[in-house]
Amino acid sequence: MRKVYFLTEILFLDSNIDEDVQGIIIKLAKLIFDREWAVFHHFVAACIAHNN
C-alpha cells in the first residue's frame, strides 16, 4: 500500500500536473496494481475526480 500513497501523493501535490506526466504515472500504477485491479480502479477514479 505504500506505493499507492506515494503515487497518489505525486498526483495530488500538483493539481496542475502535465497530462502526459499523469499518463505515465497512471501507466506505472497499472503495472504495480496489475494483479489488484480493484485497487487500481479506485486509484484512477480518485485521480480523475481530483483533476476534474
What's the confidence (pLDDT) of residue 16? Answer: 67
Which helix (H) or strand (E) covers residue 14, if one does? none
The ranges assigned to domains in the chain are 2-51
> Are the C-beta atoms of residues 23 and 7 closer than 8 Å to each other?
no
Of 6, 17, 3, 8, the residue nearest 47 (C-alpha): 8
Q: How does 9-27 read in b/e, with b if 16+ C-beta sit within 10 Å? A: ebbeeeeeeeeeebeebbe
Interatomic CA distance for residues 31 and 13, integer angstroms: 22
What's the confidence (pLDDT) of residue 38? Answer: 67
pLDDT in tens, the chain (52 residues): 566 666 666 666 656 667 777 777 777 777 776 666 667 677 777 877 776 6
pTM over 0.95: no
